[in-house]
Structure 1
Amino acid sequence: MAIFPMPPAGFDPEEKRRISLERARELKERIRDYLQVKDKILTGLDLAEPLEAAREKILAIFNAGKEQWADWHWQMAHRITNVDLLSQIVDLTSEERQSIAQVGKRFRWAISPYYASLLAVDSPGGPIWLQSVPQEAELNDSGGSEDPMAEAFTNPAPAITRRYPDRLIINVTNQCAMYCRHCQRRRNIGEIDRHQPREVLKAALDYIRANPEIRDVLITGGDALLLSDRCLDWLLSELDAIPHVEIKRIGTRAIVTMPQRITPALCAILEKHPPIYINTQFNHPLEITPEVKEACDRLVKAGVVLGNQAVLLKGVNNNPHVMKKLNQTLLRIRVRPYYIFHAKEVKGTRHFITSVDEGIEIMEKLRGYTSGLAVPTYIINAPGGLGKTPVLPRYMVFRDDKQVVFRTWEKKIISYPNHH
């Protein structure tokens, strides 16, 4: 095992510059493979014109105008839920039509008109397609669990999920703008969209009041932002009035699947209740569009802190270059990459699951190769509701009471004193 020492002192300025230039060339070579492909990994920001054309086509199908497109209530009321309507937006083979219809008998599906515009510029089997269009593989999945995180056993009060000492979840709805094909809570998606009744939310709040160690509350679902503005304002006000609740978090994918939800009125409400952290789920650069950027700009101006929780999905983003482009583009719209989740063993979704080795390889190609801000934590949710477990490449090689030996992102081995 070769140990790399620190450079010796005493070099003259010319020699230092020579070494610096040589090092710069070496660093540039390390990202040559990414530089060769990054411009071929398109973002939604690159496709503004094709997306506009797709939007016009969809509006013509619905005989609607731009004012309706911008209305999130219209988007919700016109979700695509049948094969005939979907086939007017994208070309479907007879086999695909049959497959979608078959899957729909067992697993609910719905796609917002907005997300369908992304689907129209993607290719069949592409990252947008895989996340939104039902696949026959969903029916061929004989394994997996309806509830791999055992949420039914971490439910000490109505609408509450608690897996950690100082924080918990309020599940406020089963409704989403789109029912993602990899959804971890697809067991909650019935034929009817339901928000939790006010009485249930009051019981959840009572539990939080009675447990003063709870300092962090995550409002999620379904999609928390599909609650009405009035209900969100009430719920956030109730949490503000609990002295030991320090921060509120909101879990939503509406920013990605229906950015029209991020209205000035909603942002005015959120601005009243700091500190608020919103975590969303972008899984591919194509999902970052001009409309998404506009929504994120509104949220940031309202004082909301934005984070992203990507899911590692086979065929969508299990590629180091795609994940790097995703995270770098997220930073451009002021969304901090927070987690990459290893896909859970949810029944009907296991065709999305990659190997853990693929996740570690992606982390190897992020750490050191791009800004630390663009490096999320790779997480495996321990089965049975035992919580998030970070998974890292092996950087620590050896440790005793005198020294630690570790490897750098370039796989160079370094000895470092282990001081007491």
Structure 2
Amino acid sequence: MTHIKTIPPSIEQAAEENKQRWKDWKWQVGHSITDIKTLERMLDIPLSDTERKDIQKTCDIFPMSITPYYLSLIDTHDPYHDPIFKQAVPSVGELIIEDYDIHDPLGEDADSPCPLITHRYPDRILFLISNTCAMYCRHCTRKRKVGQVSSIPLEEELEAAYSYIENHPEIRDVLLSGGDPLMLSDHQLDRILSRLRKIPHIEIIRIGSRVPVVLPFRITDNLVSILKKYHPLWLNTHFNHPKEFTDDSRNALAKLADAGIPLGNQSVLLAGVNDCPVIMKKLVQELVKNRVRPYYLFQCDLAEGLAHFRTPVGKGIEIIESLIGHTSGLAVPTYVIDAPGGGGKIPVMPYYLVSWSSNKVVLRNYEGMCTTYQEPSSYEGVTCDLRCESCVLQHSIDEESAGKRAQGIEALLSDYENDITILPADLDRISRRADGD
């Protein structure tokens, strides 16, 4: 009897067989790769027993979920150096937990006044409306939450969040995140956006989503029609490598841009993925070409399981040096470290102000050329006493905004605050002073 060997279908074969369903985002989610056996079959890459055990160990702590679409972008001839593979497939490197790694590296839980809300900055909040993502990115800063089953928070949690926003009129900007907000159904998303738009002091709504990268078919005509009802609405996505641009992802971005939704991008600097000036220049240029403004380049956070992705901060500065002056300023993101412990985003950029005196500053450009800028000799600054009604400058600011006091560095620079120093609360010398009183 002749035995015919059955060859597992490749990604291309699977795509051809399911051509009608391939672009159905729900089909994609329903067929996400979540186990090692399917991963091997779809990639047609035999793994050693050691590799299987290592991946399983990682999955036991940080689950795997990859859309067939995103998996199809992997170069199966050289997967272990492929930037898609590294972002999608679990690595034993994720099991390395350094002494300085932090479970909640950005202090989001500490700055959460109620479930779903992180209120760190004066006029804006983070609103976590979804618990699930289209794909579990291996570099996720919220790895501690990966794998939660429920896709939408409880109704009472949402109501508590709405109540908090309504009771804090200083909040003018709401950033929807998660998880991925676009993993909610159209109806669920419509309800949340509608409710937020009824709060008078909310000026803009932002959405953070990786869907255009890993599941571009989610950007349907119906979804776009819902989003455009709630302008001004902005969307920040998350491309990390030029290889993530395909006809499908470009089409998704075009739909959003054509609907008048301003697009931004937040990349993460990842060792072995995009820690290269050439790659980053190609990425930002591709973004701008597709009407996406490079917004942030993030230094990889100190979250548990990300040690193998981190680069020195100097690598990020090198990349920014390779962009400023060498490509359009529109294509240069702000390089930031999201400070551990909840300090927020801190820009870390090359120095272009070389020195200064009382009447001029010395500057250098991207070529290394040094020049001077003469300070004005006749400048008469306006001293601010917060009495905007008698100010000689013309403006229209409501009384509540005009009366706000300054905080932090702004207070040290202001004309109307008496602060001359900012001191950490736990300094020994301050404690000694208190003890002596």
**TM class by shorter-chain length?**
0.7 to 0.9
Q: Determine whether 1:110 maps to 2:65.
A: yes
Distance in 2 between residues matched to 1:395 and 1:92, nearest whole Å: 51
* Match of residue 93 from structure 1: 47
Aligned amino acid, residue 223 of structure 1 = D
Q: What are the equivalent positions in structure 2 for 1:6-405 lying under 5 Å apart?
A: 56-59=12-15, 65-90=18-43, 91-94=45-48, 95-120=50-75, 123-143=79-99, 144-190=101-147, 192-405=149-362
Flag the 1:413–1:140 CA change in 2: closer, same or farther, 3 A: same
Q: Following TM superposition, by how much is the alpha carbon of 1:373 offset from its aligned partner in structure 2, in angstroms? A: 1.0
What's the CA shift for 1:350?
Answer: 1.1
Secondary structure of 2:159's partner? helix
CA distance in 2, matches of 1:233, 1:203: 18
Alpha carbons 2:127, 2:175 under 8 Å: kept:
yes
Query: 2:394 — aligned with what?
Result: none
Distance 1:230 1:180 in 2: 26
> After superposition, what is the alpha-carbon deviation per residue over 1:24-78, rounded to whole angstroms, capped at 9, x for unaligned?
xxxxxxxxxxxxxxxxxxxxxxxxxxxxx97533336xxx522211111111111
Distance 2:104 2:313 in 1: 21
Instruction: Give CA deviations for 1:204-255 in whole Å, capped at 9, x if unaligned.
Output: 1111111111110000001010011111111111111111111000010011
Write the distance in 1 (CA, Å) between the matches of 2:288 and 2:324.
16
Tell me what 1:17 maps to: none
Q: What SS is found at the alignment partner of 1:151?
A: coil
**Which protein has the bigger helix share?**
1
The higher radius of gyration belongs to 2
Q: Is the 8 A contact 2:11 2:42 kept in 1?
A: no
SS at match of 1:178: coil
Alignment RMSD: 1.5
CA distance in 1, matches of 2:256, 2:13: 29
1:392 is paired with a residue whose SS is: coil
**Shift in Å, 1:109:** 1.2
In 1, Cα distance between equivalents of 2:222 and 2:75: 30
- Tell me the distance in 2 between the aligned counterparts of 1:57 and 1:66: 10
SS in 1 for 2:206: strand
Deviation at 1:98, TM superposition (A): 2.5
Counterpart Cα distance in 2 of 1:202 and 1:399: 53
Of all paired residues, the percent bearing the same amino acid is: 47
If asked which structure has higher relative contact order (CA below 8 Å, sep 6+), I would say 1
Give CA-to-partner distance per residue, 1:391-416, whole Å, 9 cap, x none.
11011111222000011111111111
Q: For the residues of structure 1 that align with 2:348 and 2:340, how far apart are their CA atoms?
A: 15
Partner Cα separation in structure 2 for residue 74 and residue 384 of structure 1: 39
Q: Which runs of 5+ in 2 are unaligned?
A: 1-8, 380-437
SS in 1 for 2:253: helix
Contact 1:158/1:203 (CA < 8 Å) preserved in 2?
yes
* Separation (CA, whole Å) in 2 of partners of 1:299 and 1:55: 28
Aligned length: 365
CA distance in 2, matches of 1:58, 1:346: 36
